[in-house]
A and B are shown apart, each in its own frame.
Chain A
Amino acid sequence: MRPTSYLDGLFIGRDCHTIGDNSAVICDALVGKASQVHLYAYKQAWFLCYRFRKTLNRACIISSQETAQFWMDAAAMVTLLKGSFPWLSISRKLHILMIHAPDFLDAFGSVWLYWEQGLEGWHGRYGQHAARYPGATSLERAAACMRAMALAREAGPDGLTR
């Protein structure tokens, strides 16, 4: 047995939008295999998701009207899902979407500008350079990496992006 990535590793990162872009294919595949009530609610949920997905993933300051629409769409989608599919549990992503994202968007005007892509980037950078740092244990290598990164800040705000 070997661990297998979900959907063969597809739809990771920006490719995750492919699923939403092709939601009609999923709905068409469900015709005749699911009840009409479920299928209708499923299509409606996809439609609402499509609307707020564009707002969520846009790197600009969102207007107040669009923010209000985002909140209504997210709440309507979660309500629809929870009301139409009793077995559905509120996952943490849905919780983020319904509780935190609208408030954050309302206060700061954007979600994309505040997300922490740098943190994700540090995973790869650390895995690439950790072997170069001296240390017998992972803790020692982590300490060496921390010292090096502390010094790296002296390169200047635009020294490494020049």
Chain B
Amino acid sequence: MGTWQEWARAQLLASPLSAAACLPAVQCRQAVQASAAGVATTPTGLGDPCYDRLKRERRNERAAAPPASPLTPISLPFRQAGFENQLAAPGLPLPAIPLATPGHAPFTEAARPYSDASAPMRVSSGVGSAQIRTINRVHGGGCTTGSSSAVAAHMAGECGAATTLTLLPGHGRTALTAPAPAAAQQPRPIDPDRRLPLAPGVGASPPPSNLATEPPQVPDCQQFLESLLKGKYDAQRDEAVLEDIANASFLRGDRPEIRLRHKNGRVRVYSRQLSPRKALVKVSQANKRKAAARRLVGDGCGVAARLQRGGTPPSGGPERLSVSEQVGLVAALSMSRVGFNRWRLASGGARSGLASLPELRAARREMYSLPGKQVIVTRSGAHLASLTAAIQERVTALCDADLFVERPVRDALAVPNEAGTAAAFVAHPGSPPSTEQDMQVTLGLDKGEDPATVKIVATIINQPHPNSPFNTMMVGVCPCGNDTDEELASMLGTLLPQVSALLRDGVLVRGVRRLVRLMPGCDYAAQCNVVEQNGATATQRCLRSQRAWWPSKQQASLDAIYGTLQYVTGGRHLPEATHFTDRMVIAGGTPAVGEPGTPEQHSSVVRSPLLAVNSRQIGTIPLDTTQGINHRFLRLAIEMMMVSRSATEGAADGRQAAAAFSLELVKLHQEKV
């Protein structure tokens, strides 16, 4: 390098070679280290294409600009300690040196605030010169290396100060000078971002003096906005910077999406997504979340909100229960007398308002004497002594509490028959005309629990929530092993006279006697066990002749003879339904058909009814009906599959396939539950 510089300097003055020889030579630290290690490398920082481009631009600007005012070259006014005796290199034209402003005296090493950013960099002042000057990198002024415009401004300010000891003032950065001999011995720190300018005066006019001395003009927000609105910024060139500005402004708010562009051009989009930490929580956490939601939403739940809406709490104040009510409450809750007495004593004894045990015993004895509370025990079970009295007590209580609800009946029970004339109804007990106000009572019995007991329950429909268990009335409890006809007849032997009396006498409602409309309910009634057999057209002949679910040719033939399909081929209101009821009331019975014990005999037996009511008032259980029909559909699917497979592959394969398909159906439905 030195040899080439000597050769080039000997060339014609102002030739490119001599000018190039006058360029300062910089050795990077890596090069020094590499040369020390014996590896030939190329100094970095030279030949940077960006730097070359910027250099060309500056050169063109200088050429296009008017000639600057001549500056008088002066010697370097080294005023810092240790630099008084150092002069500029002889023979090297020195540029005009912009001095540091008086108000910004150079910091000393100890006072340097940013040691890394203002690390001194040494530049050789000229060829063959032993003097080494120290300059600092210039930072601040809003200039960043990531922006092209900022780089241009940075380089423009740096143009005339590359070989000086000057620092751009006003941004907390300062120049640091160091003794050249000491610094010469140090390894040269090379900034990869540093651009090495041409020596001033070589091939170009000197730059304006204010480029290095004046800080770059930083527009305030208002100016920036005005300039932006006026379109002074190139949307295409400054797109990245403008987008960064927009992101910096919008990041403060709640945005569903944040778009960031990195320096390498990569764009990342961050979207805000809300997801619960735990989708499934336990009861405690669920309650906490509900409470928090109620606080946040203020949905009007709770006692305070209910009071604000004008509603009344369930118990507005301390209510005094009568002794009879206390007896009823103790019995309903199955509370022992000892337990009740302890509760009373804990509540203050006589001051609590609860009756004492002697008072309870006396009230209980008195209540047991009432006809509606008496219980009789027969061989079949325990029954109420008087169903009419029990219902009358309840109706009176409902009327006193103003809870009696009228349930009008439509005229559908008196619709004309197929001939267009009014149906000639027999006056069935428990079926008053629809024009009269009635009292609707359902009566059902059902077997359940283990050991099995048949419960007979009456329900008064003329009240709110009639299906609530506490609003129903238990009429009888009958332990029952096998629900045969004999046992059923024994159970109803005690009940049916009471039902007849109820239907005959009616009930007093607010002093007016009303007839009772009886509605037999539940499966027993629907199976015609209460109204007994439906004649030859009955579907359910008796309890012994339960239908076989398995397909049977014999059963199918019986259905063809006695099945209920004939009903749907008739008129709208099933004349047979009323016909058989009338016939049952009148007729005592019909001789059975077929041999005893055969399906024919079971399917055709006709007996006089135990209780004759209008069959159109037989209530049904919708949920049980729906459940039974759905299960029948499932069985039908299996039967379809078995029939189809048996026709092609035989009965054995059909049964096996049906068994496998039933398991498949169970699996399918378990997945849906």
Contact = CB atoms under 8 A, between A and B. Distances in A.
B60 interface: no
A60 interface: no
Contacts of B523: 92
A19 B526 CA distance: 24
B555 A96 contact: no
Nearest to A72: B572
A151 B640 contact: no
B477 A145 contact: yes
Interface in A42-73: 42, 45-46, 49, 53, 56-57, 71
Contacts of A148: 331-332, 334
A11 B623 contact: no
Contacts of B251: none
Contacts of A146: 375, 382-384, 474, 476-477
Given A71-B572, A87-B556, A122 B469 contact: yes
Interface in A13-49: 13-23, 25-26, 29-30, 33-35, 38-39, 42, 45-46, 49
B545 to A, nearest CB: 11
B446 A16 contact: no
A25 B479 contact: no
Contact of A100 (B375, B620, B636): B620
B448 to A, nearest CB: 4
Interface string B8-29: 0000000000000000000000
B479 A92 contact: no
A29 B664 contact: yes
Contacts of A161: 465, 468, 470-471
A23 B643 CA distance: 20
A10 B669 contact: yes
The number of chain A residues touching the other chain, given as a range, is 35 or more
Contacts of A13: 623, 627
Contact of B620 (A104, A120, A121, A145): A104
B617 to A, nearest CB: 7
A161 B465 CA distance: 10
Contact of A132 (B334, B407, B468, B669): B334
B526 A87 contact: no
B331 A89 contact: no
Contacts of A118: 457, 459, 466-469, 471-472
B644 A116 contact: no
Contacts of A25: 668-669, 672
Interface stretch (B123-131, B364-372, B586-594): B364-372
B325 A155 contact: yes
Contact of A49 (B364, B473, B629, B634): B629
B165 interface: no
Interface stretch (B34-42, B175-183, B200-208, B561-569): B561-569
Given A13-B623, A114-B442, A162-B315, A150 B372 contact: yes
B574 A103 contact: yes
B600 interface: no
Interface in A112-142: 112-123, 125-127, 129, 132, 138-139, 142
Contact of B625 (A78, A79, A97): A97
B633 A8 contact: no
Given A150-B375, A159-B325, A11 B669 contact: yes
B636 A85 contact: yes
Contacts of A19: 630-631, 633-634, 669
Contact of B577 (A103, A122, A132): A103
A89 B555 contact: yes
B666 A8 contact: yes
Contacts of A26: 633-634, 637, 665, 668
Interface stretch (B82-90, B186-194, B232-240, B396-404): B396-404
A57 B477 CA distance: 29
B619 A114 contact: yes
Interface residues of B, number: 128
Interface in B470-517: 470-474, 476-479
B539 to A, nearest CB: 4
Most buried by A among B465, B621, B632: B621
A160 interface: yes
A18 B634 CA distance: 12
A157 B471 contact: yes
Nearest to A133: B334
A1 interface: no
Interface stretch (B94-102, B299-307, B409-417, B421-429): B409-417
Contacts of A96: 526, 620, 625
Contacts of B633: 19, 23, 26, 42, 45-46, 49
A97 B624 CA distance: 11
Nearest to B331: A151
Given A116-B457, A118-B457, A95 B564 contact: yes
B583 interface: no
B381 interface: yes
A159 B329 contact: yes
Nearest to B519: A114
Contacts of A160: 329, 332, 470
A104 B619 contact: yes
Nearest to B370: A150
Nearest to B407: A108
A151 B328 contact: yes
A147 B328 CA distance: 11
Contact of B390 (A81, A114, A150): A150
Given A107-B412, A146-B476, A99 B467 contact: no
B641 interface: yes
Contacts of A143: 375, 377, 382, 477
A91 B619 contact: no
Contacts of B634: 7, 19, 26
Given A116-B521, A122-B457, A29 B665 contact: yes
Contacts of B470: 152, 155, 160-161
Contacts of A29: 637, 661, 664-665, 668
Contacts of B521: 114-116, 119
Given A89-B547, A90-B564, 20 more contacts: A11-B631, A19-B633, A25-B669, A26-B633, A33-B657, A38-B643, A42-B633, A56-B622, A88-B636, A98-B568, A99-B564, A107-B617, A108-B410, A118-B466, A127-B449, A138-B451, A138-B479, A142-B478, A157-B397, A161-B468
Interface of A: 6-8, 10-23, 25-26, 29-30, 33-35, 38-39, 42, 45-46, 49, 53, 56-57, 71, 75, 78-79, 81-82, 85-101, 103-104, 106-109, 111-123, 125-127, 129, 132, 138-139, 142-143, 145-162
16 contacts: A22-B668, A26-B665, A29-B637, A34-B641, A34-B643, A56-B626, A85-B636, A98-B564, A115-B621, A118-B472, A119-B522, A121-B469, A146-B383, A150-B373, A155-B332, A161-B470
The 9 A-B pairs at the shortest CB distance, nearest first, are namely A154-B328, A93-B628, A155-B328, A118-B472, A152-B332, A87-B551, A123-B448, A16-B627, A121-B469
